[in-house]
Amino acid sequence: MQTEFDLIIIGAGCAGLSLGTRLAALHAEAPKTLLLESRIAYDNDRTWCFWGDAQTPFATLARHSWQRFSVKQGLHSTLIDCASTPYRMLSAADFYAQAIDAITSNAALTLQMGASLTAEPGFAEGTWLLHTTAGSFSAKAIVDTRPLPIEQMSDTTLWQSFLGCELEFEEPRFDSKSAQLMDFYQANQAFVGFVYVLPVSTTRALVEFTVFAPRIFEHAELLSYLESQVVNLAQERPYKTQRTEYGLIPMGLGRPVHPAQDTASPPSYVRVGLTAGAARPATGYAFQRIQRWASACAQSLQTTGIPVGHPQDSFAIRQMDAIFLNVLRHHPELGPELFMRLFSKVDSAKLIRFLSDRGSVSDYLAVILALPSGLFLKSAYQLATKK
Ligand SMILES: Cc1cc2nc3c(=O)[nH]c(=O)nc-3n(C[C@H](O)[C@H](O)[C@H](O)COP(=O)(O)OP(=O)(O)OC[C@H]3O[C@@H](n4cnc5c(N)ncnc54)[C@H](O)[C@@H]3O)c2cc1C
Give the predicted TM-score (pTM) of the model.
Answer: 0.96
Average pLDDT of 259-267?
A: 62
Residue 310 vs residues 92, 154, 271, 280, 286: alpha-carbon distances, Å: 22, 21, 9, 11, 11
Q: pLDDT at position 261, please? A: 43
For ligand 1, say whether the CB of 274 is within 6 Å of any of its atoms.
yes
Mutating to test ligand 1, I would choose from 222, 274, 280 the residue with most ligand atoms within 8 A of its C-beta, which is 274
End-of-domain residue from the set 304, 327, 342: 304
pLDDT tops 90 at residue 55: yes
Ranges 136-140, 231-235, 259-263, 360-364: which has the least confidence = 259-263
Tell me the Ramachandran region of residue 384: left when phi exceeds 0, alpha when psi lies from -120 to 50, beta otherwise.
Answer: alpha
350-373 in b/e form (b: 16+ CB < 10 A) is: bbbbbbbbebeeebbebbeebbee
The total number of structural domains in the chain stands at: 3
Q: pLDDT at position 265, please? A: 72
For ligand 1, say whether the CB of 34 is within 6 Å of any of its atoms.
no
Tell whether 278 is covered by a domain: yes
Q: At what angle do helices 361-370 and 348-355 cross, to 10 degrees?
A: 110
Q: Of 348, 350, 346, 366, give the one whose Cα is nearest residue 358.
A: 350
* CATH code (residue 16): 3.50.50.60
Q: pLDDT tens, 148-204?
A: 999 999 899 999 999 999 999 999 999 999 999 999 999 999 999 999 999 999 999
Q: pLDDT at position 2, please? A: 65
For ligand 1, say whether the CB of 163 is within 6 Å of any of its atoms.
no
Which atom of ligand 1 lies closest to the CA of 132?
Answer: 42
pLDDT tops 80 at residue 255: no
Running DSSP on this structure, what letter comes out for residue 264? S
Rounded to an integer, what distance in angstroms lies between the CA atom of residue 251 and that of residue 279?
Answer: 7
Whether 228 and 247 share a structural domain? yes
End-of-domain residue from the set 240, 272, 304: 304
For ligand 1, say whether the CB of 286 is within 6 Å of any of its atoms.
yes
For ligand 1, say whether the CB of 42 is within 6 Å of any of its atoms.
no
pLDDT tops 80 at residue 1: no
pLDDT tops 70 at residue 246: yes
Boundaries of domain holding 204: 158-251
Whether 233 and 339 share a structural domain? no
- How many Å lie between the centroid of ligand 1 and the Cα of residue 9? 14
Tell whether 153 is covered by a domain: no
Whether 245 and 262 share a structural domain? no
Residue with the smallest CA separation from ligand 1 atom 35 is 11
* CATH code (residue 227): 3.30.9.10
Rounded to an integer, what distance in angstroms lies between the CA atom of residue 107 and that of residue 191?
Answer: 49
DSSP states of 123-173 as a string?
Answer: EETTEEEEEETTEEEEEEEEEE-PPPPGGGGTT-SEEEEEEEEEEEESS--
Whether 29 and 121 share a structural domain? yes
Give percent of the chain above pLDDT 90.
90
- How many Å lie between the centroid of ligand 1 and the Cα of residue 274? 7
- How many Å lie between the centroid of ligand 1 and the Cα of residue 272? 11
Q: pLDDT at position 25, please? A: 98
Tell whether 95 is covered by a domain: yes
Which atom of ligand 1 lies closest to the CA of 288?
Answer: 11
Q: pLDDT at position 236, please? A: 94
Residue with the smallest CA separation from ligand 1 atom 16 is 286
Whether 48 and 138 share a structural domain? yes
For ligand 1, say whether the CB of 96 is within 6 Å of any of its atoms.
no
End-of-domain residue from the set 208, 228, 251: 251
Whether 240 and 263 share a structural domain? no
Tell whether 310 is covered by a domain: no
Tell whether 232 is covered by a domain: yes
Whether 135 and 211 share a structural domain? no
Q: pLDDT at position 258, please? A: 58
For ligand 1, say whether the CB of 287 is within 6 Å of any of its atoms.
yes
- How many Å lie between the centroid of ligand 1 and the Cα of residue 218? 17
Q: pLDDT tens, 321-360?
A: 999 999 999 999 999 999 999 999 999 999 999 999 999 9
Q: pLDDT at position 266, please? A: 80
Whether 47 and 170 share a structural domain? no
pLDDT tops 50 at residue 23: yes
Whether 173 and 297 share a structural domain? no
Q: pLDDT tens, 75-113?
A: 999 999 999 999 999 999 999 999 999 999 999 999 999
Q: pLDDT tens, 39-50?
A: 999 999 999 999
Rounded to an integer, what distance in angstroms lies between the CA atom of residue 160 and that of residue 144?
Answer: 23
- How many Å lie between the centroid of ligand 1 and the Cα of residue 13? 6
For ligand 1, say whether the CB of 323 is within 6 Å of any of its atoms.
no
pLDDT tops 50 at residue 260: no
Whether 97 and 168 share a structural domain? no
Tell whether 151 is covered by a domain: no
For ligand 1, say whether the CB of 37 is within 6 Å of any of its atoms.
yes
Whether 16 and 135 share a structural domain? yes
Tell whether 101 is covered by a domain: yes
Residue 54 vs residues 47, 63, 64, 200: alpha-carbon distances, Å: 18, 13, 13, 18
Whether 139 and 273 share a structural domain? yes
Tell whether 237 is covered by a domain: yes
Q: pLDDT tens, 277-329?
A: 999 999 999 999 999 999 999 999 999 999 999 999 999 999 999 999 999 99
